[in-house]
Amino acid sequence: MASNIGKNVRIQVFGQSHSAAIGVTIDGIPAGKRIDTDELQAFLDRRAPGRLPWVTPRKEADRVEFLSGLVDGVTCGAPIGAVIANTNTRSSDYARLDRVPRPGHADYVAREKYHGAQDFAGGGHFSGRLTAPLCVAGGIALQLLREEGVRIGAHLARAACIDDACYPLQGITADMLDAAKGKDMPVLDDAAGQAMAQAILAAREACDSVGGVVECAAIGVPVGLGDPMFDGVENVIAKYCFGIPAVKGIEFGVGFEAADLAGSVNNDAYRFENGKVRFESNNAGGALGGISTGEPVVFRLAFKPTPSISGVQHSVNLDTGQNEDLSVRGRHDPCVAVRAVPVVEAVCALALYDMMLESRMR
């Protein structure tokens, strides 16, 4: 695998759903940065299971423990090692999955790629649980970026075909970015959130699941981050984002809609305002030619519906060579996009912070 990423801040995620622990190492963070570990834990709690209306309460605490890299809460220059214990595993739920692969999951391709040696329990390293260490690293990057004046937020922009309100492409405030944080349904418009929750519950009762879209924005990003052609803002953010399980698409600014616009409409024109160059619009989503424009970086991610559904699906028994139907048991979110919201903030922060460090090298 290659669960490592980053040029300047290099993270390595490790662990499987049912291994002794999951964790992350983080190398390259400058020394002397105070990390608020309580705030970090609170950030982690935003993605923790156990709180959503459709979830059986779990006791998984997801407490992060720092093994190294911090001295009295301050980065010392040495690599950070952080682990989260796996305490609440029910491997029996997965006993059959090594031979009857779940549609929509990596079970079958992992068996082929790793010649049967893959850890199938709980989805192994493919489990959504591995987004917790991503949030540890990203939560640190969020704190470091805030010191630099960069704020990041995300929300569930769509689920079960129901739209939340959207961030505007210009004029996004820190309050807007914080609006969805701390809510069970991380949306801007609570009425939409309630409708989504009902639709998700209904899908669950129908032994099914639904997909969604997460929108993320970063404000305060200085002009000039990103290195074209291949370490530009979009390249780097996209590479991180596709590390989140279930992401199938990403678009920046007006995104796919740009393909339908005329140049005269899509171009973000310039005007002076109080002696400073201002963009009249931000259809580009904060990046031109791979370089940040100073406008909000805005992007949307498509999340496919949770593949694990209790409804009966076609599958195969790889041992017997016979077709076999499957109904997936276990505790699964019927809409992975909901809990993915802080994860998207996390990877956005990691990408931007890496580019920010890069930009210091003049």
Under rule CB under 8 A, how many of the chain's residues touch a copy of itself? 151
- Which window, 124-132, 135-143, 170-178, 181-189, contacts a copy of itself (CB under 8 A)? 124-132
Rule CB under 8 A: is residue 186 a binding residue for a copy of itself? no
Contact 299, 252 (CB under 8 A): yes
91 marked as binding residue: no
> Minimum CB separation from a copy of itself for residue 49, in Å?
18
Does the annotation place 307 within a ligand binding site? yes
Residue 214, beta-bridge partner list: 156, 301
Quick one: which of 217, 221, 247, 341 contacts a copy of itself (CB under 8 A)? Answer: 247
Tell me which of 44, 140, 288, 348 binds a copy of itself, using CB under 8 A.
288
201, with CB counted inside 10 A (0-12, 13-18, 19+), is middle
Contact call for residue 1 and a copy of itself (CB under 8 A): yes
120: left (phi over 0), alpha (psi -120 to 50) or beta: alpha
Q: Is residue 23 within the footprint of a copy of itself (CB under 8 A)?
A: yes
Structural contact between residues 238 and 250, judged by C-beta atoms closer than 8 angstroms? yes
B/e letters for 212-234, b = 16+ CB within 10 Å, e = fewer, are bbbbbbbbbbeeebbbeeebbbb
Binding positions for a copy of itself, 318-337, rule CB under 8 A? 318, 321-323, 334, 337
Q: Which stretch binds a copy of itself (CB under 8 A): 56-64, 113-121, 179-187, 189-197?
A: 113-121
Residue 41: burial class (beta carbons within 10 Å; 0-12, 13-18, 19+):
middle
The residue with tokens 């979830």 is 55
Site membership for a copy of itself, residue 248 (CB under 8 A) = yes
Write the CB contacts of 94 (distance below 8 Å, at least 6 apart in sequence): 18, 120, 121, 122, 123, 330
Binding to a copy of itself by residue 311, rule CB under 8 A?
A: yes
- Binding residue for a copy of itself, selected from 141, 307, 338, 349, defined by CB under 8 A: 307
Q: Which value, to the nearest 10 degrees, does the dihedral of the CA atoms of residues 121, 247, 353, 266 take? A: 180
Tell me if 272 contacts a copy of itself by CB under 8 A: yes
- Residue 184 sits at φ, ψ, to 5 deg, of -60, -45
Is 289 one of the annotated binding-site residues? Answer: yes
Taking every pair of Cα atoms in the chain, the longest distance, rounded to a whole number of angstroms, is 73
338 binds a copy of itself (CB under 8 A): no
Q: Does 126 appear as a known binding residue?
A: yes
> 133 a known binding residue?
no
Establish whether 264 is an annotated binding residue.
no
Strand pairing report for 276-279 and 270-273:
antiparallel
Least Å distance between CB 227 and a copy of itself? 4
Q: Which of 64, 141, 210, 218 forms a contact with a copy of itself (CB under 8 A)?
A: 210
Using CA atoms, how far apart are residues 37 and 25, in angstroms rounded to an integer? 16
| 29-58: contacts with a copy of itself (CB under 8 A) | 30-32
Q: Is 143 in the site for a copy of itself (CB under 8 A)?
A: no
In the bound complex, what is the minimum distance in angstroms from residue 3's beta carbon to a copy of itself? Answer: 4
Tell me which residues in 226-245 interact with a copy of itself (CB under 8 A). 227-232, 234-236, 238-240, 242-243, 245
| Spatial distance between the Cα atoms of 347 and 343, rounded to a whole number of angstroms | 6
For residue 267, CA distances in Å to 6, 40, 250, 282, 283 come to 31, 39, 20, 8, 7
Is 27 one of the binding residues for a copy of itself (CB under 8 A)?
yes
From 92, 93, 91, 111, select the one nearest 101 (Cα to Cα). Answer: 111
Q: Which of 112, 148, 184, 205 binds a copy of itself (CB under 8 A)?
A: 112
> Residue 149, interface with a copy of itself (CB under 8 A)?
no
Task: Say whether residue 277 binds a copy of itself (CB under 8 A).
Answer: yes
Q: Cα(first)–Cα(last) distance of the chain, in Å?
A: 34
Interaction of residue 297 with a copy of itself, rule CB under 8 A: no
154 binds a copy of itself (CB under 8 A): no
Binding residues for FMN: 125-127, 289, 304-308, 331
Binding residues: 47, 125-127, 289, 304-308, 331
Binding residues for NADP(+): 47
